Structure 1
């Protein structure tokens, strides 16, 4: 059985995966046993789907129906193919501006970033399948509906998306405090993609190594960092400022 963004029950979730539905995340009851649960786990590994093993109480909070130990969140949007999206933007004559989110995990931050991205003319957002915040009701609400207007690509590995961007003439700018350059030292007027890291650890070191430039926001107070959605907004409006000059 299912509603707008949720499926529950072993048979239903297995059939949804086999039918090609885009699964955001699957919650599985800890200790679940049986042939169907093993079949589901095999499909999860094969398709690279996000999965968490949780107490039954968590599943009971997600649905009051007979979930059989499994609840899945399905995507309310269709994801874009990154190669098609990049090519379309370049051929349109626009100066490309993309966001790469390196395993950002909070749905409200994700929604806020999507909203700001739509307001600042971002051409698309790229996320990784594993470790990224799902698009659910909270994401939709926080984005004020912008999630339905913003092209979003979901890739197996964020580094593959970075290589494709660079091969397409798009420079990668990482938002990190591990640099002496501020956003005011960077030229955002050409084709570019901004990389934002996760709330806890920032950008993965292996991802950071591939960036063409690194930039930080000057912090004048005693707090060492900004909320990621606020920081992303500051970066994007610096892009807007430079491109409007």
Structure 2
């Protein structure tokens, strides 16, 4: 138990007002705690995302789309602050905030077993994405946005040597994370083994002399594994995949950005599924 501080004697600070708590500078909020932009914050509000504080210009606080949602967020404990464009520029460090920003609470990850069960109940041919060592939040956000848009049932992240879901990821995902489940696992190799046991076929994307993506039958329950920005798939993860596939490149560019490659691979998976 924290000891109670000693009582102040009546003679101390007599006639003086209590010192006020210093105000935190407007731009002193960690960047990973912030989301901003009308679409991103609106999606967070509509999906009852847990927010600590929201800053908005007066026009948005009275906007018919935002006003009831801001009141609901306030009722759940969020602090709603009026702010000018200049203050929002400070808070977001000059980003394109569109008149609104919010400080988020940490993302709540799904457990793997629940994610698998949810995916299998959604469709007869579920697709999950796993990422191996992606460290750039912009890449992860782009992967999430594409995966959700294509109809993927969820994403799996390792806890170590990889970026987690932070405000930058949320911003790049443009609201997709409000409805798209993400699981974070201690050991990605063990997670892939568990997915195989649940009936998923695991495909790893890799550069080199591997079967071209479009020549492989990708139907059925599938996990698409994407490697890190610099090294690609780690050796252990590559060995644990059922099959490594490649994306044929015809130009002089030797490789693709991981989020672009993942998007192309996901398109092929869902193209083969047709209307399912």
Of residues 225-234 and 93-102 in structure 1, the stretch that sits farther from structure 2 once superposed is 93-102
RMSD: 2.5
- Unmatched segments (≥5 aa) in structure 2: 1-23, 34-90, 92-102
Partner of 2:239: 209
Alpha-carbon distance between aligned partners in 2 of 1:88 and 1:183, rounded to the nearest angstrom: 27
Partner of 2:125: 95
Partner of 1:137: 167
Deviation at 1:94, TM superposition (A): 3.5
Alpha-carbon distance between aligned partners in 2 of 1:129 and 1:231, rounded to the nearest angstrom: 22
Residue 146 in structure 1 maps to residue 195 in structure 2: no
Alpha-carbon distance between aligned partners in 1 of 2:238 and 2:104, rounded to the nearest angstrom: 31
| Per-residue Cα deviation, 1:114-135 (whole angstroms, up to 9, x for no partner) | 0000001111100000111132
Partner of 2:188: 158
Deviation at 1:92, TM superposition (A): 3.8
User: Residue 117 and residue 92 in structure 1: after superposition, are their counterparts in 2 closer, same or farther (change >3 A)?
Assistant: closer
Aligned partner of 1:181 among 184, 191, 211: 211
| Per-residue Cα deviation, 1:136-177 (whole angstroms, up to 9, x for no partner) | 222111111112221000000110110011000100000001
Larger radius of gyration: 2
The TM-score with structure 2 as length reference comes to 0.61
Partner of 1:170: 200
User: Residue 169 and residue 143 in structure 1: after superposition, are their counterparts in 2 closer, same or farther (change >3 A)?
Assistant: same
Q: Are the equivalent residues in 2 in contact too, given 1:96–1:123 (CA < 8 A)?
A: yes
The TM-score with structure 1 as length reference comes to 0.69
Partner of 1:27: none
User: Residue 221 and residue 170 in structure 1: after superposition, are their counterparts in 2 closer, same or farther (change >3 A)?
Assistant: same
Alpha-carbon distance between aligned partners in 1 of 2:167 and 2:183, rounded to the nearest angstrom: 19
Deviation at 1:74, TM superposition (A): 8.3
- Unmatched segments (≥5 aa) in structure 1: 7-61, 63-72
User: Residue 114 and residue 83 in structure 1: after superposition, are their counterparts in 2 closer, same or farther (change >3 A)?
Assistant: same
User: Residue 216 and residue 87 in structure 1: after superposition, are their counterparts in 2 closer, same or farther (change >3 A)?
Assistant: same
Q: Are the equivalent residues in 2 in contact too, given 1:75–1:136 (CA < 8 A)?
A: no
Aligned partner of 1:227 among 247, 257, 264: 257
User: Residue 75 and residue 198 in structure 1: after superposition, are their counterparts in 2 closer, same or farther (change >3 A)?
Assistant: farther
Question: Partner of 2:120: helix, strand, or coil?
Answer: helix
Alpha-carbon distance between aligned partners in 1 of 2:186 and 2:104, rounded to the nearest angstrom: 17
